[in-house]
Amino acid sequence: MVRAIVGANWGDEGKGKITDMLGETSDVIVRFQGGSNAGHTIINEYGKFALHLLPSGVFYGHTTSIIGNGVALNIPYLCREIQGIVDRGVPKPRILVSDRAQIMMPYHILFDEYEEERLGKKSFGSTKSGIAPFYSDKYAKTGFQVSELFDEALLKEKVERVLEQKNILLEHMYHKPKLDPAELYQTLMGYRDMVKPYVADTALYLHDALKEGKTVLLEGQLGTLKDPDFGIYPMVTSSSTLAAYGAIGAGIPPYEIKDIICVVKAYSSAVGAGEFVSEIFGEEADELRRRGGDAGEFGATTGRPRRMGWFDAVASRYGCRMQGATEVALTVLDVLGYLDELPVCVGYEIDGTVTKDFPVTAKLAKAKPVYEKLPGWKCDIRGIRSYGELPENCRGYIEFIEREIGVPITMVSNGPGREEIIRR
């Protein structure tokens, strides 16, 4: 059986926590897209961790963690991350890296920086982890697969061929130093030695695991609104953030994904540029950011302050629909206990017409939020473990959101810790 944990919003919904929690009842946990460009914050018995490339289930002795073929694999980063958790007392995790995963090249990171620099004010607000140049090369068929590291003649020839093109761009477009093929080849030999212990045919491994009745968890990065097809293009990421892509990025049949747990944040936050209809500013935003603590203030990868907003039911319903959500985990609800009333964005007004359907980007830019206000509960709900014990207004907020998004909310998260969850 395969479950997917994916985001309905702009990312940072708290997927890491839910994955860490559900890892307990999983055998295999798979990252299927993205790279080290977004972080998951996990708090458990070993301490507090910000993972970027490893699946959030690496803390259990019984799980196998897979870096799927769909991931942008930064090999030195992965090795550092593994060492980093082992150094802090986590048992050495069992990790498999797909032989079909493509490699984040050092120049992808350089091109990401150079391009943002070139764009200046029009930049994408990239995390500069090389993600866009990486996926561009993958689909332009000039990327490097892990398997190619083990064929020295092929690799040498390909490095020369690819750098010929990269050096033209470096010299004439960006006016930056050119790259030396011999040096890059040596770097890749180093990568080969680092990654060798983990390389496997992970699609075959998953096929066998599913045949044996094992439970597999797919961990998504970012959320629907950052998907290249269904998000706020072009202010999106470069690999699909949808559960459907989990089948491709992990190498499993689509019909195996039985449960799609969509993580929805109880208010809105986003890092990076792009349309954000229910965004708030000034003291109102600062207060929410401050109250959010780790959940509110800064992106786990970049340390950039997050943009804040009220709950957006239009975006979240769309976010859940495009994920194919079968259930919802509503997170970070505890942060909202200070508010007298909670505005919820229930519609977008575009050119004088109110819609509840999330539009394409050009229309989104014109959208103004239509708010409905719900009464606050004015207390701290952390520590509560049963739904019935939540204050009435808090339940009212949850049930209002549930009606708006049209998917059952089966879990309510009221704190960052693994145990801070209310199941309904």
Instruction: State the minimum distance, in angstroms, from the CB of residue 55 to ligand GDP.
Output: 11
Instruction: State the minimum distance, in angstroms, from the CB of residue 405 to ligand GDP.
Output: 17
Rg, the chain, Cα only: 22
> Does 193 participate in catalysis according to the annotation?
no
Residue whose CB is less far from ligand GDP, 15 or 307 = 15
Residue whose CB is less far from ligand GDP, 26 or 107 = 26
Residue whose CB is less far from ligand GDP, 6 or 257 = 6
359 vs 395: CA distance, rounded Å: 30
368 vs 281: CA distance, rounded Å: 15
Residue whose CB is less far from ligand GDP, 31 or 166 = 31
In the Cβ-directed half-sphere of 29, how many Cα atoms lie within 13 Å? 29
Instruction: State the minimum distance, in angstroms, from the CB of residue 51 to ligand GDP.
Output: 9
- Outline where 324-371 has alpha helix (H): 361-364
Cβ atoms of 414 and 334 closer than 8 Å: yes
Of 12, 99, 112, 334, the catalytic one is 12
Residue whose CB is less far from ligand GDP, 35 or 347 = 35
Instruction: State the minimum distance, in angstroms, from the CB of residue 277 to ligand GDP.
Output: 20
Backbone angles phi, psi at 357, to 5 degrees: -105, 130
Instruction: State the minimum distance, in angstroms, from the CB of residue 1 to ligand GDP.
Output: 22
Instruction: Kindly report the number of other CB atoms within 10 A of residue 41's CB atom.
Output: 18
Residue whose CB is less far from ligand GDP, 15 or 158 = 15
Instruction: State the minimum distance, in angstroms, from the CB of residue 62 to ligand GDP.
Output: 22
137 vs 130: CA distance, rounded Å: 11
Backbone torsion region of residue 158, taken as left when φ is above 0, otherwise alpha when ψ lies between -120 and 50, otherwise beta: alpha
Cis amide prior to 253 (ω within 30 degrees) = no
Instruction: State the minimum distance, in angstroms, from the CB of residue 84 to ligand GDP.
Output: 16
Give the binding site for ligand GDP (CB under 6 A): 7, 11-17, 38-41, 43, 294-295, 300, 331-332, 334-335, 413-416
Of 27, 40, 112, 137, the catalytic one is 40
Backbone angles phi, psi at 211, to 5 degrees: -65, -35
With vertex at residue 418, the alpha carbon angle to CA 416 and CA 419, rounded to the nearest 5 degrees, is 105
355 vs 308: CA distance, rounded Å: 22
Distance of CA 210 to the CA centre of its chain: 24
346 vs 330: CA distance, rounded Å: 17
Residue whose CB is less far from ligand GDP, 104 or 412 = 412
210: part of which helix (H) or strand (E)?
Answer: helix 202-211
Nearest to 2 by CA among 201, 198, 207, 143: 207
> Does 40 participate in catalysis according to the annotation?
yes
Q: How far apart are the first and last CA of the chain?
A: 22
What are the residue numbers of the active site? Answer: 12, 40
